[in-house]
Amino acid sequence: MSLKTHQDELPTINLTPMLDIVFNLIIFFVVGTRFVGAESKLPVKVPEVSEAGKLQPTPEKCVINVYRDGQISLDDRFLTAEQLRQELAAARAQYAGLGVIVRGDAEGTFQSVATVLNACRQAGISEMGISVRLPTKGG
């Protein structure tokens, strides 16, 4: 039986690719900071405004609840179908891409949901959805 008399070489780690990446990152950040400084030195006089308000983000889809008894709520306020149409039309005037999700009670009449969908259509909203739930497994 032969015995090993010499040790195998340990693998070496090649650091060249890592050093290349670090060097490129350093160059990127040095050049990037140069542009920030150059922009503030441009001879441009920016306009003044009397009041700076925050930009309003585009709202998520409005959720309209239709209860079993036919009541309609939007943002925790109960509305009639005409009031809903007016609210949605005003919101759509600000955000043209406004969408709605209608959540109707499963034991309510479909006529109530259809009334809400019609009010949405009259308000000019084209992106509408109906919320449903999937049946639970094993139950």
| Cα Rg of the chain, angstroms | 31
Whether 137 is covered by a domain: the verdict is: no
Whether 76 is covered by a domain: the verdict is: yes
pLDDT tens profile 125-139: 988 988 888 877 765
Whether 93 is covered by a domain: the verdict is: yes
Q: In what order do the strands lie in the sheet with 62-66?
A: 77-79, 72-74, 62-66, 99-104, 127-130
Total number of domains constituting the chain? 1
The CATH number of whichever domain residue 96 belongs to comes to 3.30.420.270
What range does the domain containing 78 cover? 62-130
Whether 32 is covered by a domain: the verdict is: no
pLDDT tens profile 72-110: 999 889 999 999 999 999 988 888 888 899 999 988 888
Residue entry with tokens 């006089």: 45
Q: Whole-structure pTM over 0.75, yes or no?
A: no
- Residue whose C-alpha is closest to residue 63's, from 88, 83, 81: 88
Whether 31 is covered by a domain: the verdict is: no
Helix axes 110-122, 81-94, angle to 10 degrees: 40
